[in-house]
Structure 1
Amino acid sequence: MQTGFVLFYFLFPTISDQCCGKTQRRTKGDKNAAAKPMSADQHYHYKVVEGEVFVMPCNSLHVASPIKWFKATKGKECGKEFVAEMEDSGTYSSLTGSYLTLQVINKTSLRCFQPNESSVTLLVDAGGEIRCPGRDCYNNTAVVWYKKNKTVSEQSRISCENKGLLHLCTVYESDTGVYYCDRQITEQGVMWTFRRAVNVTVIPHSSSSPEFKYPSVNMTEKVELGQPHTLECEVIFDVEEKISQKVQWFMNFGGDIQNMTLLHMEQAQVKPMFPKVEVTQKSIIKEVMPQHLKHTYTCFASNAVGNNSVTIKLQKKMQVKWPSLVGYPFACFLLVAGLGIIVHVKWLELQLIFRSHFQFGKLDGEEKQFDIFVSYVWTVPSVEEANGLSPSSKPYTETGGCKSNMKMQSSEGPIEKLLPQVLENQWGYRVCLLERDILPGGAYTNDVVLTINSSRMLICVLSAEYFANSNAVFVLESGVKALLQMSAPKMLLIWTGGTSSSFIQPEPPLPKLVQRALKVLPSLQTSTDTSPTAIRSFWTSLQKAMPAHGARLASQEN
Structure 2
Amino acid sequence: MSKLCLLKSQAKKKKFCTEAVPKFLLVKKLKTVYTRAGEMVVLHCPQKNDPNTNVLWTNQTRQEMNLTSIMSPQSADLNQMDVLLHGHSLVILRASLSHQGNYSCSVRNASRKFWFSLIVYEPQSTEYEERNRYSTTCYTQESCTLYCPTANIPTRDTPNITDRGITWHKEGETVSTPHDFPSAVESYGGIYKCIRSFLYNGQIYNMSFSVMLEIQKSEYGKPEIISPQQNDVFHIDLGEFLSVIECKAVAYSDYDVVFWLSENSFVDTDESLPVFYNFSRTKYIDEVNMTASLVFKDVSEEDLLKKYTCKLESDHQQSSFITISLAEKSTPGPSHVMLAVSSVCVVVLMAAIVVVYVKFKIDGVGEVNGVFSVCSDEKSYDAFLMCYKSVTDGGLSEEDRKCLANTLEDEFGYSICLYDRDVFPAIAEAVLDCIEQSRAVVLVPSFPDPEPGSAVLSAIHTSLVERKTRLIFINTEQTEASRSGSFPEALQLLSKAGNSVTWKGRPPSTSFWKQLRYHLPAPQQTPKMQLLSQEC
Superposed pair shares fold, TM > 0.5: no
- Higher Rg of the two aligned structures: 1
Give the structure-1-normalised TM-score. Answer: 0.27
State the TM-score, normalizing by the size of structure 2: 0.28
Higher normalized strand content (fraction of residues): 2
